[in-house]
Structure 1
Amino acid sequence: MSKAKGRSIWWRIHAWAGLKLSLLLAAILATGTFATISTELDWLATPAMRVAPASTPHASWGQLAMSAQSALPESTIRSIVAPPNSRFAAEAWVEQPDGELMRIWLNPYNARVQGIGPWTNIQVMLCEIHRRLLLPNFIGIRLVSAFSLLLTVLVVTGLVSYRRFWRGFFRWPKRRRGNNRQLLGDVHRLLGLWSLWFVALIAMTGFWYLIESLGADAPAASYTGKAVAQMQGFSQLDAQVAAAKAHNPLLEIREIRLPGRAGAPVAIMGQADAILVRDRANTVWIDPASNRVLDSIRGEDLSVHQRISEMADPLHFGTWGGLSTKLLWFCFGLMLTGLSVAGIIVSSLRLHREACAGRQDSSSGLGRVWLQGMGPWAYPALALLTFVGVLVIGYLVGLAPSAAIEW
């Protein structure tokens, strides 16, 4: 009886935490799931991003830069980004004289401009909603990251309250006549067990983001040397790329960041030996005047603190293995979102049954019962999601400014 009572307490904690914060949790999980394939969604929605694979060599970085500059002569090119695979266009990120950020899509084989568009796209929108619910960074990032603690509580309480949970991995849900709640409960438990590793991974990386937001973020590798001469055009960009490749032959260049201020060098970054790191973990800084290597950093030379920080994004969004791992993360993200929704419905059905047993008005729909079950927690969640929805509509119709980018 003591063990059963203990499991009942754990279950009540699980049900309470999952229901009261269900609205925001489901929204964060859903946006994070689609954020993993947001680049591919943009590719589907933007014809200018698509190219036909070719056997010819790629255009040089210098050709891409000059072509982008000719498309918007008054703009300042901030970054040139390589295509993620053979069917994608390369991108140039440029800043207009009024400060507006734009994207220029370039055919990677012949450097021709395929289109020009705004900075804000599906990827930016999904990532910013998932990352901070479009709130100011110091509030939004901490709020969203704190849900990693909720995920941890839900995992622990769910396992403790599920007796002999290890037997449930192959216990397929059974249809019971007139008992949808029990069927959905079985689905909820099955999804929870098979997504355990994924929930743990998302919770750990989310908790790391919370630690970083509280001031324990690792210092990003940056150039700290003396100022260099200002870059003049792109005629020497290919020579600068060659110098970076000579310095680090294993470097697969994914992005070139051009000087954003006077005295800054050219930053050439990408992937090399180190696994599970962002592109910036392998950077070579080049003097734009002399084409000389000023400094460099390699992923394998980072401190433990920096390496953990660089691993967080590839693990959280599944980008470390290309499209295959992104699709895997997307599938498990759908599973995790479905787990949350199934839990919401199970809780609503339980509340509805209790209302009927208590001879209360049983005519309310499940949505109303769910919101009533959330109690006062429903109001700030609805207000916040309404605020996010208004901002999204504003972005779509061009009423809100483009999202900022950190160079």
Structure 2
Amino acid sequence: MTARVFRNYIFRTHSWVGLHFSLSLAFLFLSGTLLVAGLELQLVGQPKVWNMSPASERTATFGQLYDAFEAEYPLATVSVIEKRPRPWLASQIIARMPWRESVSFWADPVDGTLVGASSTKGLHDLLRELHDNLLLKKQPAYLLVTSMSIILLVMSVTGMVNYRRFWKGLFRLPPKQSTRRIWLGSVHRLAAVWVIPMLFVIALTGFVFFLDGLGVEGSEPEAARAAERSAALPDGFNGGAIDRAEAVARDALPGFEPRFVVLPGWPTGGMEFFGDHADSLMSIGVYRVAVDPTNFEVLGAFAPSDVKGIARIRPLVTMLHYGTWGGMFSRAFWILFGLAAFGIALTGMLIFASRRSSIPLQATMHGPLRRFWRGLGIMRWGYLLLVLAITMAGIYTYSSAFERQIRLQPGSPDELIQLMAKRSLRAGEAYSLTLRVTDPDVKTATLQLNAGPEQTVLLHAGDGARAGTADIQPGTGDNTILLRLTGADGETRSLTYMLGRPVW
């Protein structure tokens, strides 16, 4: 095979793969680029959560952040506290409200006072789910997305082979006087030679995610179980317990610098601290120490060297893939290069279309894009089906019409009585409740909000139980629901549901 024949074969491979997959790559480039700054875009309207305090002034401990939050929302359940999620953002506290909505709270890193809140189902989460699994949240969708790393690697290699002496094109600007095809090809090659290092990084790290999705995950050491207790957190748990556990974690792993803590969610779980080592050159990865919240015994202290297989390099792969390896500057580079990569995919589509037409450069893009779409052949129907699936998944995930009913928990649980709600609590908005009674002795039920007027809940026969509905109007203060149940003998018993105050 001569060199000319080989290059012609490579060119055809590059063109064919690009025709059929450039649309997918363009979508992933754009969504990934937006995801790099997704959290910042979501918080752009909340100036108080932006905080440029240096690390030396971020003196609020995990315990202080916890206590400050508990003073505002004592009924919520804290799951994660992170001191410095971004150098330009406040400290973050992720908590679950009594109506089971997860919310990110932002606190001043100096004194711990709350300065804002944002939904965990906002723009950042939407972009992450789009980029990771197309909102479908299924393993095949994740594998489909991560398999695009192989396509990207093929496109990068064939493009370099096809563009002989590509390094000479770093400063070769597109000619001013040229046909559409020549101009588009020049822009395509110019952007590609600058972005190719990032494309290789994205392709290789994406392939690691693909292997992870196939089950080639490696292994991480597991911490021992904590002493069993009656609840996820022991009685009297407060910020002081977290600070004491952090001190134990630092002693267990000298040089350990915790960045965030995950509080236990079950009666035998421990507090887990994650962070770096004071000597960052020792190894790249996450250090982890688990501490029993009851007796403060160390349940496990692990360094990156304790992690085996792909799991060991996963933190490095994640930093490289999402451009977080160099802080603000690497994020800026990744956004710039990501937009350029999107441009490469777009010009590739237009180059294909220009080969099929002699329409001058001044024509609109409507014609070229139509020719590209028709050139996809039968694969365009696959794209349409995928867009339809993404749209339906987005509606199902983010529309309030499909919110799942959740069961509110009273102070004293009663398995025969269920009070259900279908949406998140919002101040000033009607909150619909469904009462489901399986206790045959209950004849009537009334519901009262914050010592206000009582309303009768009419119970109707249903699927093995009686059910009724009621609407309440939550206020900005504490919202306490008193449910009174009256039996056939006239005896009354009560259940109290404490929802606390709404976030918004």
Matches within 5 A, 1:348-387: 348-353=353-358, 365-387=367-389
The residue aligned with 1:31 is 31
Matches within 5 A, 1:295-334: 295-334=300-339
Matches within 5 A, 1:337-356: 337-353=342-358
Structure 1 counterpart of 2:343, one-letter code:
G
Separation in structure 2 between the aligned mates of residue 304 and residue 213 of structure 1, nearest angstrom:
14
Is the Cα–Cα contact under 8 Å of residues 59 and 108 in structure 1 kept in the other structure?
yes
Is the Cα–Cα contact under 8 Å of residues 272 and 288 in structure 2 kept in the other structure?
yes
Matches within 5 A, 1:96-245: 96-177=97-178, 179-225=179-225, 227-229=227-229, 230-232=232-234, 233-234=237-238, 235-245=240-250
Q: CA offsets, 1:256-285, max 9 Å, x none?
A: 10001111000011122456855xx21111
CA separation of 1:189 and 1:52: change in aligned 2, threshold 3 A: closer
* TM-aligned CA deviation for residue 238 of structure 1: 1.1
Separation in structure 2 between the aligned mates of residue 149 and residue 326 of structure 1, nearest angstrom:
24
The residue aligned with 2:74 is 73
Structure 1 counterpart of 2:371, one-letter code:
V
* TM-aligned CA deviation for residue 99 of structure 1: 3.0
Is the Cα–Cα contact under 8 Å of residues 92 and 104 in structure 1 kept in the other structure?
yes
Structure with bigger helix share is 1
Is the Cα–Cα contact under 8 Å of residues 245 and 251 in structure 1 kept in the other structure?
yes
Is the Cα–Cα contact under 8 Å of residues 212 and 310 in structure 2 kept in the other structure?
no
SS in 2 for 1:156: helix
Separation in structure 1 between the aligned mates of residue 216 and residue 41 of structure 2, nearest angstrom:
33
Separation in structure 2 between the aligned mates of residue 242 and residue 368 of structure 1, nearest angstrom:
64
Structure 1 counterpart of 2:78, one-letter code:
I
* TM-aligned CA deviation for residue 164 of structure 1: 3.1
CA separation of 1:363 and 1:392: change in aligned 2, threshold 3 A: closer
Structure 2 counterpart of 1:245, one-letter code:
R
Moved more, 330-339 or 66-75: 66-75
* TM-aligned CA deviation for residue 122 of structure 1: 2.2
* TM-aligned CA deviation for residue 343 of structure 1: 0.9
SS in 1 for 2:376: helix
Structure 1 counterpart of 2:138, one-letter code:
N
Structure 1 counterpart of 2:331, one-letter code:
K
**Quick one: higher RCO (CA 8 Å, sep 6+), 1 or 2?**
1
Separation in structure 1 between the aligned mates of residue 264 and residue 310 of structure 2, nearest angstrom:
27
SS in 1 for 2:214: helix
SS in 2 for 1:74: coil
| Number of equivalenced pairs | 393
The residue aligned with 1:9 is 9
SS in 2 for 1:285: strand
* TM-aligned CA deviation for residue 91 of structure 1: 1.4
Is the Cα–Cα contact under 8 Å of residues 228 and 265 in structure 1 kept in the other structure?
no
Moved more, 339-348 or 393-402: 393-402
Separation in structure 2 between the aligned mates of residue 128 and residue 48 of structure 1, nearest angstrom:
27
Is the Cα–Cα contact under 8 Å of residues 274 and 300 in structure 1 kept in the other structure?
no
Structure 1 counterpart of 2:261, one-letter code:
I
The gaps in structure 2 that reach 5 residues or longer are 405-504
The gaps in structure 1 that reach 5 residues or longer are 357-361, 403-407
* TM-aligned CA deviation for residue 202 of structure 1: 0.8
Please say which structure displays the higher CA radius of gyration. 2
CA separation of 1:400 and 1:310: change in aligned 2, threshold 3 A: farther
Q: Say whether residues 1:285 and 2:286 are aligned partners.
A: no
Separation in structure 2 between the aligned mates of residue 13 and residue 52 of structure 1, nearest angstrom:
49
